[in-house]
Structure formats: structure tokens, C-alpha cells
Amino acid sequence: MICLIRPPAVETFRIATTSITLPLGLAYITAAVKNQGYAFNVIDAVGESLDTRTAYYKGYLVGLSLDKIVERIPEEAQVVAITVIFTHEWPFVAKLVERIKDRYPEKQIILGGEHVTSMPEFCLLTSPADFAVRGEGEDTILEFLHAFNSDKPDYASIDGLTFKIDGKLITNKRRARTKHVDDIHPPAWEEFNLCGYQEKRFVGGMYSSKLTMPILATRGCPYQCTFCSSPSMWTPLWIPRSPEK
């Protein structure tokens, strides 16, 4: 079994209706795992505790506490996957990884998301996590789970993966971008608390009474802004989905 975790979200003050959104990336990964028949469970720390606020530097965290997240991880889960979108979330996630390893030292922890893609070596050197996924994760996580469940796992052959062996970091070549974006399984929104996000005025709920959710109409960005992680995450390749999709 794999346990998929969205950590608490950081908020200081509202500057847009999208300050905290539904975890679109994790919903895509959940769909990939689900459609391949792997046993899984999802812990959306935000969606499961939308009213909880915890002090965090000069702002606060929205969502479950460290202890509550760890308590929700199933004993039978052999792999724990954590998404990290923003760099300012990393200090909390590093503590979460430590707490999980303290309680479940045998579980393998794999990280993914924009922040991890930008700094995979940093994330593995500043936490006891075992693996880091760089770039789009749908194919990488499935190849990882296939290797993990085999008699002789060959992680060195999995594109887009960085991992530790005896304290040494191994960085495989980056995975080629997925060009057939219309074929990607749609996000597994049935595993998330869509109505809760809307009721608490997250996503577009600040101005709309109707249920809203994020979408990726395209993947990638042709620009290379120096302040942005997009070139690391997506490369400058821009791929639109069909209008029908």
C-alpha cells in the first residue's frame, strides 16, 4: 500500500482566491495509482481539517498537526509519498518526514512536487526521505511502485528519480515530458473534500457560490523566468490539452 499525503498549507494573508487550493498534482498521482490497481489511501491534511490553524513563522498552517498526520498513516502502508509545492512549506515537511521515520523507520518515503523538483538533493540531504521524484510524476511513481514490489528493485533505471544508497545520492536522468496529455487519467477528485474547500471559501469560493476546482488546461510554460521553478519542473515545453478535454 502507498499512502499519499498533502501536508498543511501555509497562509499569512489573502492576496488571491487561490491562496490555498485543492491538491491538483496529488489528485493526478492518486488517479495514476488508483487506475493501476495499487492499494492506496490519501491524507489531505488541509481538506481533513480546514478549520485548524497552527502558528508557523510569521503566518500559520491550515490543516492537520504533525501528530494527527502520522496517526492517520496506515500500518500496512509500505510507501509514503508527500507532495511539496512551495519552498516555504519545506521546513514543516522536513519535520513531518522525521516524525514518520521515527515511528515507522521501515517505511520508504518518496517526495515530489515543484519544490522537490527544483532542489531534490537538498530535500534528501536535509531530511531522512529516501526518494525524490523530479518533474511530472504519474509515470515515475508507477515505475517506482513496480520496482519496489519486485524481488530485486532497480531504481537506477527509473528516469526522473533521485535516491539514496548507503548515504550516497544517485540522480537518474530526467524523464522526458509527457506529450500525450489528453491520455493522462483525470484527477481522482472523488478522494478529496471538494465541498469542504468550497464551504470554507478556498479555491474560487471567496466570490462564487458554485463548486470550483483547479484544472490544467495546458502543461508547461515557454518562458524561463529566473524566479520561477517551472523550467525545472516542466522544461520550456508548452503542451495544451484539447479543447474538448
In tens, the pLDDT along 191-243 reads 999 999 888 878 755 566 788 888 889 999 999 898 888 888 888 899 999 99
Mean pLDDT within 66-77: 97
Q: What is the DSSP letter of 218?
A: E
Q: Residue 21: which pLDDT band, with cuts at 50, 70 and 90?
A: confident
Which amino acid, residue 110?
I
pLDDT at 147: 97
**Quick one: DSSP state of residue 101?**
H
Cβ-based burial of 174 (10 A; exposed 0-12, middle 13-18, buried ≥19): middle
Q: What is the pLDDT of residue 59?
A: 85
Counting residues of the chain whose pLDDT is more than 90, the rounded percentage is 76
At residue 16, the pLDDT reads 55
Cα 189 → chain centroid: 14
Over the stretch 154-189, which tens digit does the pLDDT of each residue have? 999 999 999 998 889 999 999 999 999 999 999 999
Kindly tell me if the per-residue pLDDT of 13 is higher than 70. Answer: no
